[in-house]
Amino acid sequence: MDILNQLFEQHFHTPAVEITPLQGKLGGSGRKIIRLTGGQFSAIGILYDVREENVAFLEFSRHFRRHGLPVPEIYGEELSQGAYLEEDLGGTTLFEFLSKNRAGESISPQAIEAYRKVIAVLPRFQVEAGRDLNYKVCYPRGSFDRQSIAWDLNYFKYYFLRLAGIPFNEQALEDDFSRLTKFLLSAGHDYFLYRDFQSRNIMWRNGGPFFLDYQGGRKGALQYDVASLLYDAKADLPPELRQQLLDHYLDTLTAFVRVEREAFMQHYYAYVYVRIMQALGAYGFRGFYERKVHFLQSVPYALKNLRWLLHNVTLPIALPTLLGAFHSMLGSEKLQALASDADSLVVRIFSFSFHRGWPKDETGNGGGFVFDGRSLPNPGREERFKALTGRDAPVIDYLNQQDSVHQFLASVLSLVDASVSEYQRRGFKNLMVSFGCTGGQHRSVYLAEQLAKRLRGRSGVEVLLRHRELETLGQ
């Protein structure tokens, strides 16, 4: 962390006075992402120990800026310590902008226009800036070649199909993979492939897009990146909008390169499939294997995309075993249970002691509400309550008699109710509410129990309640 402070002070000539980890932005990456602020200045610091990936990101960033593309300025770097400092592009991703501007399938004109702006920039990365890019710094491969495709397909096979319990004939599946790979590589692939061109890697600031996380870029086909954006699982774009945006992309692309639409479309859906498989492999590895269950929340959306493809697209090559595995996925009880879970808003309610710090958010969403109950009358000061908790009748009766407790609870319930309704409307899946007090035994426990009672039974809400300090005490 000291090196990021040094880089900040070297660039801005003032020290960073506030440091905020942005763990919710990490996704599946191992990078530490930190916002540093000091005076009127703000920057994003990165700590990551894979030198080759850092080199790729830094060189690509400077190259893209020379081409006038909206990517972050690099303020400073110290590769020997795996650190660099970049421009702060704000806190709103394209996914968050979309979520705020939709109600189910109904997406506002502002969000559609945002996607059109993003789509219009993509050919500049792929063709214009891709022509003179130094592909020697690409990591881990210089192109989306046979080896890259094999990694993605095996990732899907071993970390999704295997761990989800989907049966398949291994040799027959490998034969399909071989045919699919040969077909994918028959498309023109002498362009810059961004690799992870999706809504969480695009920031929305001042009415325009800014782009991040292209460090895995390499040479490849034009179809891959537009497929990544339009079939981004949790963005859940309606099929009609996907088609409109694809048409807009192809119209824009003609200004940069000669486009044979029929040839482009011949390969397009094969790239949609391979991108979905790559994403499912990542969800399976993080969710099934590493037990980071919030990654599995994207699986139902990917399955929804597969269902649409199986009903609406015929590939020009035969892949019977692979398509059979997709059909088995759609019929899997284990995966259907994920879909059922994904339809609910999970509200995690905690009680805790401020002496031990706030409960950690494990969902990757950055937390929610933290309410401080220390202003309320403290039963722990009275001898008769010291051995009891906020779940015991005498403590509950005592707190129920306090007007200040009722006023506090009324305010809390009003705030949380409003957030629950809005989260459900916007399709969010996690909300965290924590109540703290001095010891984490009486007031915070009582408040957490009261909120849980209020929310249990509410349609589309799953309540998970934890009393952190009581677990320590064995109660």
Say what the pLDDT of residue 25 is: 39
Structure tokens at 7: 């880089």
- CA 430 to CA 46: how far, in whole Å? 26
* Dihedral sign for Cα atoms in the order 69, 70, 75, 77: negative
Say what the pLDDT of residue 472 is: 66
- CA 416 to CA 432: how far, in whole Å? 10
Nearest 10 degrees: Cα torsion 421, 423, 424, 426: 120
- CA 111 to CA 100: how far, in whole Å? 9
136 and 303 Cβ atoms separated by less than 8 Å: no
CA 320 remoteness from chain centre = 32
- CA 327 to CA 303: how far, in whole Å? 10
Digit-by-digit pLDDT tens for the chain (475 residues) are 799 999 999 999 999 999 988 854 344 567 899 999 999 999 999 999 999 999 999 999 999 999 999 999 999 999 999 999 999 999 899 999 998 898 777 899 999 999 999 999 999 999 999 999 999 999 999 999 999 999 999 999 999 999 999 999 999 999 999 999 999 999 999 999 999 999 999 999 999 999 999 999 999 999 999 999 999 998 999 999 999 999 999 999 999 999 999 999 999 999 999 999 999 999 999 999 988 877 888 999 999 999 999 999 999 999 999 999 999 999 999 998 886 666 678 899 999 999 988 888 766 666 689 999 999 999 999 999 999 999 999 999 999 999 999 999 999 999 999 999 888 888 788 899 999 999 999 999 999 999 999 998 787 788 889 998 987 665 5
285 and 30 Cβ atoms separated by less than 8 Å: no
Cα distance between the two ends of the chain: 38
CA-to-CA separations, 241 to 99, 236, 299, 382, in angstroms, rounded = 15, 10, 21, 63
3 state DSSP class of 187? coil
Radius of gyration (C-alpha) of the chain in whole angstroms: 25
β-pairing, 345-353 vs 430-437, is parallel
Task: Pick the closest to residue 451 from 349, 346, 358, 344 (CA basis).
Answer: 349
Structure tokens at 335: 């995966």
Residue environment code for 437-447, b if the CB has 16+ CB neighbours within 10 A, otherwise e: bbbbbbbbbbb
395 and 470 Cβ atoms separated by less than 8 Å: no
Structure tokens at 228: 């990544």
Q: Looking at this protein, which amino acid is placed at residue 223?
A: Q
73 and 87 Cβ atoms separated by less than 8 Å: yes
CA 257 remoteness from chain centre = 32
β-pairing, 74-78 vs 83-87, is antiparallel
Q: Which residues, at least 6 apart from 313, have a Cβ–Cβ distance to it below 8 Å?
A: 269, 272
β-pairing, 106-107 vs 102-103, is antiparallel
- CA 424 to CA 104: how far, in whole Å? 10
Say what the pLDDT of residue 342 is: 60
The overall pTM is greater than 0.85 = no
Ordered by where they begin, the domains of the chain are: 2-87 (3.30.200.20), 94-341 (3.90.1200.10), 344-473 (no CATH)
